[in-house]
Amino acid sequence: MADLSATIAGVRIDPLFMNASGPDCTTPEQLSGLLRSGAGAAVTKSMTLMPRPGNPEPRYMDLPLGSINSMGLPNLGYEEYCRLLPALRHEGSKPIVASVAGFSLSDYVTIARAASEAGFDLIEINLSCPNIAGHPQVGYDFEASDAVIAAVRSVCDRPLGLKLPPYFDPVHHEQMAAVLRRHRLEFLTLINSVGNTLVIDADSERPVIRPRDGFGGLGGEYVKPVALANVRAFHTLLEGRVPIIGVGGVYGGRDAFEFLLAGACAVQCGTAYKQQGTRVFDRLAAELNAILERKGYAAAAAAVGRLRALPAAASAPA
Ligand code: DHB
């Protein structure tokens, strides 16, 4: 059996799989289910200052190669998640990750401080919710991101990380990496859904989800190459110094192995967890183990960042 563990800021995640903040991690029952599953950690739905019912339905749709959603941050509010934490600890000793969302700097500060004081094992600051009308994704504004990171860092004693949106241009990778180098961060989670996409049903001549005229975040197989590129870009730009949790289109052990090669040390699963439930985690671990054993890796950690270069091209025929 290969060692499937990951360690982030001294927090051991074994196996290295967890849910992505998003589907089915909102209620105590859903979080208990995750803590009793084969996942190595559980992540909450992004918590906001106040409880929210979220956007009108339909707001999630399965697609042939993934999903689209505009949930609108339905959640119980940060005070309830902090209050629930001791009870969730009775479900086992797995790390519990608080996902934090805000509509202002002071929201982020209030929630991050409370989550840190409550004792969540890792705190994942979501700079990338695409689905709230009038609130652009913070992660696309480098100055605003810098300010949020500085503010939450100053109130957060627990290991702190960021969940970033996908970037599509190397200049943006470099600009965000420059911001990240100014702060102490224990991890990055890459990537959030590809925001503001539109799926149209040609039969009904309508969008497939209701909120925001059908615009929503894309997940699943569609986004895996985008996710791998962002993991690779930040692994390279930060010289492997900040642990990366890879997320986007992980359905099987082979996908997870690709994220390890790109530079992720742990992996989250969103759409596949939504579609298959908690049993997905046992399959992911078994499949990743089989790949590592077949390839002679004693530990998943040994594959992190080990993407190989293509062999030198043969010289072109004269
Ligand atoms: C939601 C979607 C996201 O991609 C995110 O980061 C946060 C919230 C949502 O609509 O609930």
- Condensed to tens digits (0 to 9), the pLDDT of residues 113-154 reads 999 999 999 999 999 988 888 888 999 999 999 999 999 999
Confidence check: pLDDT of 259 > 80: yes
Determine the atom of ligand 1 nearest the C-alpha atom of 74. 11
Q: Is 67 in the pocket of ligand 1 (CB under 6 A)?
A: no
Q: Work out the average pLDDT over 65-93.
A: 97
Q: Work out the average pLDDT over 40-63.
A: 98
Confidence check: pLDDT of 30 > 70: yes
Distance 73 CA to ligand 1 centre (A): 6
Q: Is 126 in the pocket of ligand 1 (CB under 6 A)?
A: yes
Q: Is 25 in the pocket of ligand 1 (CB under 6 A)?
A: no
Q: Work out the average pLDDT over 275-302.
A: 98
Q: Is 75 in the pocket of ligand 1 (CB under 6 A)?
A: no
Q: Is 71 in the pocket of ligand 1 (CB under 6 A)?
A: yes
DSSP state letter for 168: -
Q: Which of 129, 156, 265, 269 is catalytic?
A: 129
Tokens 């890879």, located at residue: 246
Q: Work out the average pLDDT over 88-93.
A: 95
* Residue located nearest, by CA, to atom 6 of ligand 1: 129
pLDDT band at 292 (very low <50, low <70, confident <90, very high): very high
Please say whether the beta carbons of 214 and 208 come within 8 A: yes
Confidence check: pLDDT of 318 > 70: no
Question: Catalytic annotation on 129?
Answer: yes
Q: Is 145 in the pocket of ligand 1 (CB under 6 A)?
A: no
The Cα 33–Cα 27 span in angstroms is 10
The Cα 61–Cα 55 span in angstroms is 14
The percent of residues above 90 in pLDDT, for the chain, comes to 95
Determine the atom of ligand 1 nearest the C-alpha atom of 55. 10
Distance 30 CA to ligand 1 centre (A): 17
pLDDT number for residue 135: 86
Q: Each residue of 156-203: pLDDT tens digit?
A: 999 999 999 999 999 999 999 999 999 999 999 999 999 999 999 999
Confidence check: pLDDT of 223 > 80: yes
C-alpha dist (Å) from residue 190 to 28, 64, 234, 269: 25, 23, 9, 12
Three-class SS of residue 189?
A: strand
What totals of helices (H) and strands (E) does the chain contain, helices first?
A: 9, 16
Confidence check: pLDDT of 45 > 90: yes
Tokens encoding 190: 């890459």
